[in-house]
Structure 1
Amino acid sequence: MSDRPTAPARPMAPARPAGGGGFGPFGRGQMPAEKSMNFGPSVRRLLRRLSPERPKILAVIGLAVISVVFSVIGPKLLGRATDVIFSGVIGGRLPAGTTKEQAVQGLRASGHGDFADMLAGMDVVPGRGIDIGALGTVLAWVLALYVAASLFMWLQGRLLNDVTQRTVFRLRADVEDKLHRLPLKFFDGQPRGELLSRVTNDIDNVSQTLQQTLSQLLSSLLTVVGVLVMMFVISPLLAAIALVTIPVTMIVTGQIAKRSQKQFVAQWAHTGTLNAHIEEAFTGHELVKVFGRGPEVEQVFRERNEALYKASFGAQFISGIIMPTMMFIGNLNYVAIAVVGAVRVAGGSMSLGDVQAFIQYSRQFTQPLTQVASMANLLQSGVASAERVFELLDAEEQEPDPADPVLPETRRGRVEFEHVSFSYDPEQPLIEDLSLVAEPGHTIAIVGPTGAGKTTLVNLIMRFYELDAGRITLDGVDITAMRREDLRAQIGMVLQDTWLFGGTIRDNIAYGNPRATDEEVQAAARATYVDRFVRTLPDGYDTVIDEEGGNISAGEKQLLTIARAFLANPSLLILDEATSSVDTRTEVLVQHAMAALRSDRTSFVIAHRLSTIRDADLILVMEAGSIVEHGTHDELLAARGAYHRLYSSQFAGALTGDDASAAEVG
């Protein structure tokens, strides 16, 4: 079991609950506190990620402009069609052979002044009905404009979809690259479910937001501008009345948005926290059942699910008020325009077609404003997710590899610690002024109580953490002067916690050396006694195992990871309780195989089971980050020190023969 303490990590909002290394399946930590969202900067940063698609965006804007221009001309032409119909109806009721001026004078003389004023403002020929030809021409133009507008809108949407998906593709790639540049301490300080939520849920939410808002926002803004121009062309007075909607809309939307921002931030924070709990609880599902902690797990789930429900309901409810409010404001604007327009038609200062067109424009004017307002909740949700992704992208990275890397001239596996100091927490020193040499071909066993720093020691060799002082050399080269990739290519590592991926047994072994042939894979399997159980499986090396390795035993999983390290053919081996999951008989066989593998290789073996490291060339006994004893098995037993105490604690009731005599020496 790893003795690495939880490392402090740069907190990402929402931070993990105070109190240490995660909740575990039964934890009850406090919910992350809400923080105010930097809405403006986050939106600008998100939009900057669109910059590589600038040519396509310009094309999208051009297509949108053309589409909107065609759309806003349509109502004006339809108003002309209304005037043709209305003029024909009125003209057919007037006596033929008279002029319009004569008809107007006759109406005034008979006391119909209002009708005379309206007739004076119309293009009418007494005695002539509806001009079908002119009406057909106008309607044909309207149809052509709307078809063209739809076509350009479709092209715009198709192009914008490509822009959005490529942007999200790059965002996912950047996050993936970032994860590979983050130090191990970052992952030690973040619950896995919370991190997965940022990488999956939040990025998907950003994608959905960009997809649904960019096109709609662009079209809505252009429509507002185009409609405003046409409204002022038709009637500046009615346009001024319609403009009253804008400040009212901005005030109402702004006030509601302020109240919903925190709720959206909390919604995605609680989503990450709930995912972390679910991931931990189901990973430890067997333990939950064994210890009867199901009710506690369910209670924690209910609490966090309730918190997510409240935040989500609050965010959607508050932002959902925007749409009906905007519809109410739009309807008031519609009524005002209809009343004033009717008065002006009756006075002859406007035609009926212009009023009809203006009413359509007023609908087109308020509709995009309403759509923009209704998108406020989606936009805030997407920006809240984007902010969480940006926090991940801004996390402190591991130190970069050197510009001019150095490689050892020969691969011998000589490792030297020179006055090494390291601590996870500056307030709690762990390893201080440690010096040791591991000669090529030697097996160095590291023993000690949990928390002594055993796993930390090998993590420093792998450069999973950086030293506070001193240096570590591999074959005479400072490991910080090497690329991490080159350093780790010379190291094979087998951990107590096995890791397998979904695939065949052959693929899992070949993970140690992707260029290995089938013969080399099978040779490594035979050397580690994997071949004998693989042969009993129906599909042999083509047997597919899942990510958790649920269809093979724990010992068989451990053997597969050992075979993987064999195939990598490293110059340095690190074995962290590598045989803890195999049975006694298999352990003996694996020890023999490891003895052959360790020939001409340096090996660091972390062991709690002291019987597995009796033949080590050097045993280091660690306590509180310091080496308190070193020597061979027999030498350390004779010294009757810390190693003797550890050995006696394991074999106090079973010491016989030579071991008992050795334990009594001194």
Structure 2
Amino acid sequence: MIRKLMQSIREYKLSSLLSPLFVVLEVVMEVVIPILMAKLIDDGIDGDGGMDAILHIGGILLVCCVASLLFGALAGHFAAHASAGFAKNLRHDMFYRVQTYSFSNIDKFSAASIVTRLTTDVTNVQNAYQMLVRIALRAPSMLIFAMVMAFRMSVRLSLIYLAAIPVLGIGLYFIMTRVHPIFKRVFKTYDKLNNVTQENLHGIRVVKSFVREEYEKEKFSKISENIYQDFSKAEKRLAFNMPLMQFCMYACMILVCWFGARMIVSNTLTTGELMSLMTYATQILGSLMMLSMVFVMITMSRASAERIVEILDEESDITSPANAKTTVPSGSVDFDHVSFSYSKRKDKCCLTDIDLHIPAGMTVGILGGTGSAKSSLVQLIPRLYDATEGSVRVGGIDVREYDVEALREEVAMVLQKNVLFSGTIKENLRWGNPDATDEEMARVCRLAHADEFIRTFPDGYDTYIEQGGSNVSGGQKQRLCIARALLKKPKILILDDSTSAVDTHTDACIRQALRDEIPDTTKFIIAQRVTSLMDADLILVLDEGKIHGMGTHEELLRTDAIYQEIYTSQQKGSVPQ
């Protein structure tokens, strides 16, 4: 796990090394200062050195203090630079990894969980890293140097510090082992909280129209209360850390004062040395306290680090093969006895034994009830998912032999719930073709019957689209998405119930434009309305993941019971008894 995270340090290695270097120099200065203080007292104040000794030693003491301040500031600067850069690279690496995921990879984590890992978890790891490159080295360095200097002054008194170390170590071990599982659970609950928040914001119109605000508040409060309870439990256990530290610190100080005073009386210790030992006691116990803080932060960040590494280690189950084909010869599509399961289990297939051969340029309509796997069928064409059994061929070549990007460049999909991104209409359209001219964009918008409403906007094609397309209607959004897909000039066009929000006249005009303008493009049209598919070259009727019927409109009216029932119910407005 650590090796994986360290790969994200990259250009911040120098800052990560300079910070510990300046930390060590700062510690050296701080450890030297008590020695100078002892010398100042023993030689300058109690000794015969007089004012000359005081000025000489005081000057050296001042230089050491300024140097310690400078080294500390530089250590803090480089630690902040290294940790912020490390976090930036982590977010970059995670986001880029997510971009390579297939739909099944994203389904595994959920969008809310990925957002939590990119934000909260990265922040936790960033704070831990900053502490590691600064305090994690400062504390043991201070402990070692201060112990060495204390032993040089008095071995007997320094043994008191050694006795405190195992007491603190055992206490910290018990605290950390009981806190880590709680933090691990908390971050999973954060995923649920993010999910509830996203769901509420995306569906806020539905929430308000059904007056379900109180229900949503209760749901949010319940998860938030779980986080509060877990954090409270963790913090209560971590609270034992400070009393334990204080007990050890004051116990050591009392013992040093007691035995030190007796040694001064017996002339085996000077006043300056006792003052230095008191300072070293503070430094040693302070370093132990800093170590305990590091352990607390590491405990908190360990769960976050594990979740981050899960994202970085996840391999997409859809990748381009070696020597992948980069050219799609034609828009022909063949399903050779294809079965598909989202869970990869052959006994739970949502598509079963699909055998279908579509020549290039054909218009294929797909009809079926909810859950009949219409969308699942077309998602196999651009290889959003891989078939569990059988093979899908585009242009006579198995889709698994293509470079994934090359294949998807030739397949345009328009979903019922397609997405517009924040930006102008032009910027959204250029997702289909970054180099498209204004004339090309206007042409595809006329084909999709979007040009007429775009020109009613004061800014026309420069109109700003809010996040998610919230400032345009559902029908307008679908027509813009169709135009965006047409701008790709694909060999295969898939319309997945993408005209459901437009009226029947506009739907008919769009289909007529597709027939006339892109006759060589293979078109798959999923629709709930029979009128949207009547003029298709071939209509598939799906039922429970199987092809129930296949043919033209007239043929299916004669031969397929499901098609007859749907057609009759839509034409007469009632289901035949």
Same fold (TM over 0.5): yes
CA distance in 2, matches of 1:649, 1:154: 78
- Identify the match of residue 308 of structure 2 among 389, 413, 421: 389
1:104 aligned residue: none
The aligned counterpart of 2:474 is 554
Map 1:106-185 onto structure 2 (within 5 A). 124-125=47-48, 131-185=50-104
Residue 331 (structure 2) aligns with = 413
What amino acid does structure 2 have at the position aligned with 1:334? M
- Deviation for aligned residue 1:170: 2.5
Letter in structure 2 aligned against 1:359:
M
Residue-by-residue CA offset, 1:174-202 (whole Å, 9 max, x unaligned): 21122122221232344432331122221
Change (3 A) 1:636 1:207: same
TM-aligned CA distance change 1:243 to 1:61, over 3 Å: same
**Amino acid corresponding to residue 217 of structure 2 in structure 1:** E
Residues 485-524 of structure 1: pairs in structure 2 closer than 5 A: 485-524=405-444
Greater mean alpha carbon deviation, residues 329-338 or residues 274-283:
274-283
What residue is the counterpart of 2:139 in the other structure? Answer: 220
Q: 1:62 aligns with which of 17, 21, 37?
A: 21
Aligned partner of 1:350 in structure 2 is 269
Q: Indicate how the Cα distance of structure 1 residues 335 and 593 shifts in structure 2: closer, same or farther if over 3 A, else same.
A: same
- Offset of 1:48 from its aligned partner? 6.8
Tell me if structure 2 keeps the 8 A contact 1:442–1:602: yes
Task: State the match for 1:632 in structure 2.
Answer: 552
1:480 paired residue among 385, 391, 400: 400
Amino acid at match of 2:366: I
Pair 291,389 (structure 1): closer, same or farther in 2 beyond 3 Å: same
Q: Measure, in 1, the Cα distance between the counterparts of 2:181 and 2:560.
A: 63
Match of 2:116 in 1: 197
1:319 aligns with 2:238: yes
1:408, 1:475 within 8 Å by CA — same for their partners in 2? no
How far off is 1:47 after superposition? Answer: 5.5
| Residue identity opposite 2:176 in structure 1 | A
8 Å CA contact 1:445–1:618 kept in 2: the answer is yes
- 1:506 partner letter: K
Within the alignment, does 1:72 sit opposite 2:14 as a pair?
no
1:309 lines up with 2:268 in the alignment: no
Query: Is the Cα contact below 8 Å between 1:494 and 1:565 reproduced in 2?
Result: yes
**How far does residue 337 in structure 1 lie from its aligned partner after superposition?**
0.7
SS of residue matched to 2:467? coil
* Cα distance in 2, alignment partners of residues 45 and 640 from structure 1: 57
Structure 1 residue 204, shift from structure 2 partner: 1.9
What is the DSSP-based 3-state SS (H/G/I as helix, E as strand, rest coil) of the residue aligned with 1:244?
A: helix
Structure 2 equivalent of residue 3 of structure 1: none
Alpha-carbon offset, residue 367 of structure 1 = 0.6
Aligned-pair distance for 1:327?
1.7
Distance 2:293 2:17 in 1: 26
Identity %: 32
User: CA–CA distance in 2 between the matches of 1:189 and 1:162?
Assistant: 34
Counterpart amino acid of residue 422 in structure 1: F
The residue type equivalent to 2:264 in the other structure is: V
Task: Report the equivalent of 1:400.
Answer: 319
Is 1:462 the counterpart of 2:382? The answer is yes
**Native 8 Å contact 2:139 2:288 kept in 1:** yes
Q: Letter of the aligned partner of 2:40 in structure 1?
A: A
Determine if contact 1:319/1:374 at 8 Å carries over to the other structure.
Answer: no
The alignment status of 1:237 with 2:156, answered yes or no, reads: yes
Match of 1:471 among 380, 388, 391: 391
Does structure 2 conserve the Cα–Cα contact (< 8 Å) formed by 1:256 and 1:319? yes
Give the superposition deviation at 1:51. 7.6
Listed one character per residue, the Cα deviations across residues 546-600 of structure 1 (whole Å, up to 9, x for unaligned) are: 1121211111111110110111111110000111111333323322322234411
Deviates more, 1:568-577 or 1:516-525: 516-525
The yes-or-no answer on 1:618 pairing with 2:538 is yes
2:353 corresponds in structure 1 to: 433
Q: For 1:594, which of 514, 523, 526 is the aligned residue?
A: 514
Please tell me whether the aligned partners of residues 621 and 629 of structure 1 are also in contact (alpha carbons under 8 angstroms). Answer: yes
Q: Does the 8 Å CA contact 2:478/2:501 hold for their aligned counterparts? A: yes
Q: Is the 8 A contact 1:165 1:207 kept in 2?
A: yes
How far does the alpha carbon of each residue in 1:31-74 deviate from its partner, in whole angstroms, 9 at most, with x for none? xxxxxxxxxxx567646755875555444333322221122101
Task: Give the distance between the partners of 1:265 and 1:356, measured in 2 at CA.
Answer: 45
One-letter identity of the residue aligned with 1:421 = S
8 Å contact from structure 2 (residues 409, 490) kept in 1: yes
Taking a change above 3 Å as real, the CA distance of residues 571 and 163 of structure 1, as seen in their structure-2 partners, is: same
Distance of aligned partners of 1:653 and 1:531 in 2 relative to their CA distance in 1, 3 Å threshold: closer
Q: Which has the larger radius of gyration?
A: 1
Q: Matched residues in 2 for 1:69 and 1:480: separation?
A: 62
Give the Cα separation in 1 of the matches to 2:244 and 2:352: 66
- Displacement of 1:279 in angstroms is 1.2
| Pair 1:243–1:640, CA change in 2 (3 A) | closer
| Alignment match, 1:372 | 291
Alignment partner, residue 251 of structure 1: 170
TM-score normalised over the length of structure 2? 0.94
In the aligned structure 1, how far is the partner of 2:263 from the partner of 2:3?
46
Q: Please, which moves more after superposition, 230-239 or 372-381?
A: 372-381
Q: Answer whether contact 2:361 2:519 (CA < 8 A) is retained.
A: yes
Counterpart residue type for residue 71 of structure 2: F
* 2:462 aligns with one of 542, 550, 555: 542
Following superposition, the deviation at residue 618 of structure 1 comes to 0.5
CA contact (8 A) 1:320 1:377 kept: no
On the 8 A contact 1:408/1:477 being kept in 2, the answer is: no
After superposition, the C-alpha distances for 1:390-436 in whole angstroms (9 at most, x for unaligned) are 222233521431110114473x3111112222222422233233221
Cα displacement (A) at 1:608? 1.0
Q: Give 3-state SS (helix, strand or coil) of 1:548's partner.
A: helix
C-alpha deviation, 1:291, in angstroms: 2.8
What is the rounded CA distance, in whole Å, between the counterparts of 1:308 and 1:447 in structure 2? Answer: 46
Offset of residue 308 of structure 1: 0.6
The runs of 5 or more residues in structure 1 that have no matched partner are: 1-41, 88-123, 656-662
Say yes or no: does 1:453 pair with 2:373.
yes
| 1:90 match | none
Show the counterpart of 1:648: 568
Residue identity matched to 2:291: V
Aligned partners of 1:254, 1:332: CA distance in 2, in Å?
A: 21
Which moved further from structure 2: 180-189 or 548-557?
Answer: 180-189
Q: Which residue of 1 aligns with 2:258?
A: 339
Long gaps (5+) in structure 2? none
The alignment partner of 1:81 has SS state of: helix
Structure 2 letter corresponding to 1:418: D
CA distance in 2, matches of 1:273, 1:527: 43
What amino acid does structure 2 have at the position aligned with 1:438?
Answer: I
Contact 1:43 1:383 in 2 (8 A): no
Structure 2 Cα separation of the partners of residues 43 and 407 of structure 1: 38
**Aligned positions of 1:293-304 closer than 5 A:** 293-304=212-223
TM-score (norm: length of structure 1): 0.82
CA distance in 2, matches of 1:408, 1:432: 29
Specify the code of the residue in structure 2 equivalent to 1:561. Answer: C
Cα distance in 1 for partners of 2:3, 2:490 equals 48
Show the counterpart of 1:110: none
Output the CA distance in 2 between the equivalents of 1:384 and 1:534. Answer: 49
Aligned equivalent of 2:342, options 416, 424, 438: 424
**SS of residue paired to 1:472:** strand
What SS class does the counterpart of residue 447 from structure 1 fall into?
strand
| Alpha-carbon contact 2:568-2:574 (below 8 Å) kept | no
For residues 6 and 552 of structure 2, the distance between their equivalents in structure 1, rounded to whole angstroms, comes to: 64
Q: Deviations along 1:278-333, whole A, 9 cap, x unmatched?
A: 21122222222333333322222221111111011111222132123202210111
**Contact kept? 1:316, 1:377, Cα under 8 Å:** no
Give me the whole-angstrom Cα distance separating, in 1, the residues matched to 2:354 and 2:74. Answer: 67
Q: 1:543 is matched by which residue type in structure 2?
A: T
